[in-house]
Structure 1
């Protein structure tokens, strides 16, 4: 399903699920003024098309003890297709990395990191990232405060 194939019902279903993925089919159907069976068919079609990539609970990292959030810019020592695949797998296997992005500019990657303390962040950088043979440089910025909440895709 391409973006231009979405009608008003599909867009409303996506917006509602993005705001609250725990909505039941009956609740969703009532909110978009469709029958539960029609709403269920549309939801299944949106999932099959890949527009709904998954469902998850948004947890509060700070309340779970992960009080330090940082963005680490990683510069690689060398570049090749093998290096890119290997480093992506390396980042994906690190539980401290919430998300990794490839970049243009001075750094090759931006890592969104969540840890329990500054000591844990220092250990992560010095004992996990910097010793990796493909990593040439790491520069981290510590988040002082989040402003607002994560936003979804504008629909």
Structure 2
């Protein structure tokens, strides 16, 4: 299904404020509440809206380090990749994981309280994950642009 201008406006409004009420959405897209609610239900049922969540402040939670870790494997088997992927799902401080092309196999985004905390996490967790032979870390010095939602082209 193609999204029309009103659908895109509803999605844009929800990306800005996931707690927007149907009434405020309707006002924002210039619709009455009932048709807006129907469109919203359709967007949800057709999986344009994956889920709703709150965006937490990393600094308020005293997670001062944001690291990007390139993970490399020495051996590439489906079984090893599956084991690695299962294990990282259960590690809360790994906030995202991508299987990537290039010189690394995976790119992880990791949070930690400070550098000492990250160092222990690297030693005790990252380096012990199935298949991992090398980890290269890069640290965010300053967040220039935070995930602000997907473009609605």
Same fold, TM-score > 0.5, yes or no? yes
Q: How does 1:98-117 map to 2 (within 5 A)?
A: 98-117=95-114
CA distance in 2: counterparts of 1:54 and 1:16, whole angstroms: 14
Q: Which residue of 1 aligns with 2:27?
A: 30
- Conserved 8 A contact 2:74-2:133: yes
Find out whether 1:42 has 2:30 as its counterpart: no
- Following TM superposition, the consecutive aligned residue runs of length 4 or more in structure 1 with deviations greater than 3 angstroms are none
Question: Number of aligned pairs?
Answer: 152
Q: How does 1:64-143 map to 2 (within 5 A)?
A: 64-143=61-140
CA distance in 2: counterparts of 1:146 and 1:123, whole angstroms: 24
Pairwise CA RMSD: 1.0
Larger deviation, residues 78-87 vs 18-27: 78-87
Provide TM-score, normalisation by structure 1. 0.94
* Unaligned stretches of 5+ residues in structure 1: none
Match of 1:15 among 12, 24, 28: 12
Q: Which residue of 2 aligns with 1:145?
A: 142
CA distance in 1: counterparts of 2:56 and 2:128, whole angstroms: 31
User: Secondary structure, in 3 states, of the residue corresponding to 1:130?
Assistant: helix
CA distance in 1: counterparts of 2:26 and 2:78, whole angstroms: 47
- Conserved 8 A contact 2:81-2:131: no
